[in-house]
A and B are shown apart, each in its own frame.
Chain A
Amino acid sequence: MNTRVALKVGSLALLAVLAAGCGRATDVTVYEPGVYKGAKDPLLEMHATAEHKALLQERLTMGQTDR
Chain B
Amino acid sequence: MARMKFLCDSERCIECNGCVTACKNEHEVPWGVNRRRVVTLEDGVPGERSISVACMHCTDAPCAAVCPVDCFYTTDDGIVLHDKDLCIGCGYCLYACPFGAPQYPQKEAFGVRGKMDKCTFCAGGPEGKENSEAEREKYGRNRIAEGKLPMCAEMCATKALLAGDGDMVADIYRERVTKRSGRPQSWGWLTAYQEDV
Contacts and interface: CB of A to CB of B under 8 A. Distances in A.
A64 B159 contact: yes
B29 interface: no
Contacts, number: 104
A43 B86 contact: no
A60 B165 contact: yes
Contacts of A30: 65
Interface residues of B, number: 46
A59 B126 contact: no
B148 A44 contact: no
B111 interface: no
Interface in B159-173: 159, 162-165, 168-169, 172
Interface string B110-125: 0000000000000111
B145 interface: yes
A38 B73 contact: yes
A16 B125 CA distance: 54
Contact of A40 (B62, B123, B126, B169): B126
B144 A32 contact: no
B61 A59 contact: no
A43 B172 contact: no
Contacts of A39: 83, 85, 126-127
Contacts of B172: 64-66
Contacts of B124: 41, 43
Interface residues on A, range: 20 to 34
Given A31-B65, A64-B162, A66-B159, A59 B75 contact: no
A31 B70 CA distance: 12
Interface stretch (A7-15, A18-26, A50-58): A50-58
9 contacts: A33-B64, A36-B71, A37-B86, A39-B126, A39-B127, A56-B165, A60-B168, A64-B149, A66-B176
Interface of B: 61-62, 64-67, 69-73, 75-77, 79, 81-83, 85-86, 123-130, 142, 144-145, 147-149, 153-154, 159, 162-165, 168-169, 172, 175-176
Interface of A: 30-44, 46-48, 52-53, 55-57, 59-61, 63-66
